[in-house]
Chain A
Amino acid sequence: MPKLLRPLDVYRHLPGTNCGECGEVNCMAFAAKLIEREKRVEDCKPLFKPEYKAKLQKLLEVLRPPVKEVTIGVGDRAVTVGGKVCVYRHELTWYRPTALFFDVDDEMPEEEALKKVKYVEGFEIERIGVKLRLDGIAIRCVSGSPEKFAKRVAKVVEATQLPLMLCSYDPNVMEEALIIASTKKPLIYAATKDNWYEMMKLATKYQCPLAVSAPGDLSLLKSLVATMRKEGLDDFVLDPGTFVEADTLAETVNMFTMLRRAAIEKEDKDVGYPLMGVPAAVWMSPEKDEVTTKMKECYVANLLMTRFADLLVMHSTDIWMLLPVLVWRQNVYTDPRVPLSVKPGLYEVGPVDEKTPIFVTGNSALTYFLVRGDVEKSGRGYLICVDTEGISVESSVAGRRFTAEKVAEALKSSGVESKVKHKTVIIPGKAARISGELEELLPGWKVYVGPKESSGIPDFIEKVWSKEVKFE
């Protein structure tokens, strides 16, 4: 089990003046927000005064999660990875969703590279009220030429605000690129057993996070990190190697699992850093066709994300294979302590007026966002969420949580009746069986049974409701 911090553990290292500069009412409230990652240490300005130097240092120690947080990039799109405090999400929650980086290289045509960069930067899909996005660009040095690589890096830096990862084992190549890009705080990939000393110097000189790569050799990985920690470096991302063949994939999962358990449950500080995986590696030994390789890249990504990868480097950008990765990331990184439901009651969707249809549904967050989205597409609507305890409509009809009585009661107490000039209500197709009873409970009202899938709402409004409903 993770060691949970209590606000008091944090509070004792704060100034304790309750000055309110951080926006919280007092230091205790700020301490609680710090633990929840809702505030940052930097938000406490007084703490950075010389007299609190000792407190600040102690605070940072106390707050340091067993998997250190590492920030890549600068500005709005900077991404912080790591920060994990538990192996299993049900023990608390997983902080810092896995960052998804996409590769370009210095030998592909410039136009193609920049097009991919722009696509990754602009990618956005909205799902249950959240915008799902991609996080960064990994630039690979395929040419081996410092000049070519630096030129490509310069072009990418010019084109995007996304965090970067610079990939080369050659310190000379790396320095040429860092000269261009170091102010963007890219992730340097990678220090290995052969180049670690020079890479360490570069990471120190240019103040950038450093990936440490020791494929298949966790003792070496640990040695490299331990050595560089002694030299004062502390921003690492660990790469145990992503082996994806039929006879090696299991070992990849094994290494990731060992590293994360050692970091959290054995408190091994030398491996207490974010882990990176490279699903893009499937392209080194492609499957029989492109689609199959892309599918493999997708499931390797989800496999590693589930087994603790904090950063993934991917190659393909097809929406159909990114969608499962983005949705699983959204799902697995939700806070298991927060029930996924919305407040029961009346919601207005779009510009409502007296001729706006009334929809009834459950209060599971999933239901709410899906139905809301589809009502929006149909134009507008009053949406009444009945308290189904966060359960889907189908299950709550079966479990007597979505009954005619409850719907009638919710409709009456919402006060929507006085806001419209019609007496019709649309219930979900999956709740069809309550329609008769509901009409009995609502004299003068007509109950419409809507589509079984909320995606049918726009069609239903256009073809049925709008044609049939007359206004008073």
Chain B
Amino acid sequence: MAEKKVPKEVKSFIDLLDQAKVLELRDVEILAEEFVINIAPQLIQAVPPAVQQAHAYLEEAVKLLRQALGIPAVPPAVAPPAAPPAPAVPELVKATFEPPVFTYAGSIAEVQIGATSAEGGTRKKVIKVGGESCPPFYRFEKVMPNRPIVALDVFDTLPPLPKTIKDYYRDVLKDHVAWVNKCLEEFKADLVTLHLISTDPAIENKPAEEAAKFVRKVLDQIDIPVIVGGSGNPEKDLVVFEKVAEATSGERLVMASVTIDMDVAKAAQVISKHGHNVIALAFLDINQVKELNRKLMDAGMPKDHIITDPSTGGLGYGIEYTFSVMERMRLAGLMGEESMQVPISCAATNAWAAREAWMPMDEWGPREYRGPLWEITTGLVNMLAGADLFMMLHPLAAMTLKSIAEVLAKPKIEKELREVAYEKWISAKL
């Protein structure tokens, strides 16, 4: 072996042999895939410590050589020598992890949706959202008083919907009560939103009175309260909300949505006069959220009747703005900013604006899975940012997000983590 050409590792291998002073290798050429060095154990036990030392050196040398050549080990032909007694393992430093609990100056209002007969309504079921006094799912501080709620969409007139969604509702599209019940029973939604899109002046321009009658009629046949969705036309919505509020006085429904380009003071009056709640919709601008909520409160809308919607960008389409606006809103509310001390609503449905959710595209995989997962993800990350109420479209997405909410907001963890063999993940057949 020419001294100059040997790699460093091999050189130290030779050094080690040298230190052992018992063996020497000459003109070695290793071409084999396997490299075995066996020393009979009885021999080791019989030999004096110096030779045992040599064996240890040799083992180390073999490791180095294998490292240099990248050769994996092979099973030893005979059992390896008994290991020398392990060196005493030092004691672990005793440390205690203290949960980093903070205190907060403020808390989030709890909004009750629906009123029972004792409360001036006719609902058999009411739902509460919000009421948090720490950031979302900071269980080490507090378990959230109300788990996040999922509301599925029901439309008075059918808008264009992705096929993957429409297929779930084909049998009930003409019967709104059956549609609501399907959402509740089959798809396990907590609530529904009745979207009155037929009132849109650009579509059917149905009169507000007719819309109000429609809501009342549906309400009379179901147990739960509903969210009433307008058409998005600020002038018309104000009239629609007024008529619906009258026709359902005392039911404590949710009117969605009041926006900054509406006569906010008037909206607050016509809605609060009949004891309803409101969703205040701002456009991804935390100052607008503040201004709108302030205006509503100034006009007499109680804080615990307001839910705020800062606008939801779908996954891949501005979701990070929504995420951070929600997180900032929630933290500001806990720090004491009153206009932010209201539950947050998230339109996870906006996920469907993303082409990744609905477009047939082989290289992205089947859209039947991709679509709901897009909506679940949009809802989930905003839930972690602080959203309390989710407007959803796809039944599978709604069911999944609801079950995640149930799991994360569980009042009590029944299972001790120690009972779960998590550590086995590395050796399990997955």
Contact = CB atoms under 8 A, between A and B. Distances in A.
- Specify whether A and B are partners: yes
Interface of A: 88-90, 103, 105, 107, 127, 140-142, 144-147, 150-151, 153-154, 157-158, 167-169, 175-176, 179-180, 182-183, 189, 192-193, 196-197, 213, 215-219, 221-224, 226-227, 230, 241-243, 245-251, 253-254, 257-258, 261-262, 265-266, 268, 270-271, 278, 280-281, 283-284, 291, 294-295, 298-299, 302-303, 306-307, 315, 318-321, 323-324, 327-328, 330-332, 334, 336, 340, 366, 392, 395, 453, 455
Given A284-B424, A366-B318, A323 B370 contact: yes
B63 A303 contact: no
Contact of A147 (B74, B377, B424): B74
18 contacts: A150-B72, A179-B66, A179-B73, A180-B67, A219-B96, A223-B94, A246-B407, A247-B415, A294-B369, A299-B404, A303-B384, A306-B381, A324-B374, A324-B376, A327-B315, A327-B356, A331-B320, A332-B381
A253 B137 contact: yes
Nearest to A226: B93
B331 interface: yes
Interface in B64-79: 66-67, 70-75
B104 interface: no
B420 interface: yes
Contact of A222 (B96, B418, B430): B96
Contacts of B370: 320, 323
Contacts of A157: 70
B265 interface: no
Contacts, number: 244
Nearest to B318: A366
B81 to A, nearest CB: 14
B49 interface: no
B317 interface: yes
A144 to B, nearest CB: 7
Tell me the dominant secondary structure on chain A's binding face. helix
B159 to A, nearest CB: 14
A142 B427 contact: yes
B426 interface: yes
A173 to B, nearest CB: 10
Given A216-B422, A302-B381, A455-B359, A197 B90 contact: yes
B85 interface: no
Contacts of B95: 219, 222-223, 226, 270
Given A192-B423, A258-B140, A302 B97 contact: no
Contact of B369 (A145, A192, A266, A321): A321
B84 interface: no
B72 A176 contact: yes
Interface stretch (B116-124, B208-216, B360-368): B360-368
A247 B410 contact: yes
Contacts of B423: 169, 192, 213, 215, 241
B47 interface: no
Given A154-B72, A327-B316, 14 more contacts: A142-B427, A147-B75, A150-B72, A180-B72, A216-B418, A222-B96, A223-B95, A242-B425, A245-B420, A251-B413, A254-B139, A257-B140, A265-B102, A455-B355
Contacts of B380: 299, 302-303, 306
B316 A147 contact: no
B89 interface: yes
A90 B327 contact: yes
Contact of B376 (A284, A299, A334): A299
B48 interface: no
A159 to B, nearest CB: 12
A153 B72 CA distance: 8
A320 B100 contact: no
Nearest to B408: A250
Interface in B94-115: 94-100, 102
A295 to B, nearest CB: 6
Interface in B31-73: 63, 66-67, 70-73
Contact of A250 (B400, B403, B413): B413
B380 to A, nearest CB: 6
Interface residues of B, number: 79
A258 B320 contact: no
A227 B92 contact: yes
B26 interface: no
B328 interface: yes
Most chain A CB within 10 A, of B89, B137, B320, is at B320
Contacts of B74: 147
B429 interface: yes
B261 to A, nearest CB: 10
Contacts of A90: 324, 327-328
Nearest to A144: B427
A329 to B, nearest CB: 11
B374 to A, nearest CB: 6
A328 B377 contact: yes
B209 to A, nearest CB: 28
B381 A169 contact: no
Nearest to A319: B365
A84 B419 CA distance: 32
B283 interface: yes
B417 A189 contact: no
B430 A336 contact: no
Contact of A243 (B94, B319, B406, B417): B417
B407 A189 contact: no
B115 to A, nearest CB: 31
A319 B363 contact: yes
B147 to A, nearest CB: 11
A150 B404 CA distance: 40
A422 B322 CA distance: 42
A405 B424 CA distance: 65
A189 B140 contact: no
B316 A298 contact: no
Cβ-closest 9 pairs across A and B? A320-B365, A216-B417, A150-B72, A218-B97, A283-B430, A167-B426, A90-B324, A331-B320, A254-B139
Contact of A453 (B72, B318, B355, B403): B355
B73 A281 contact: no
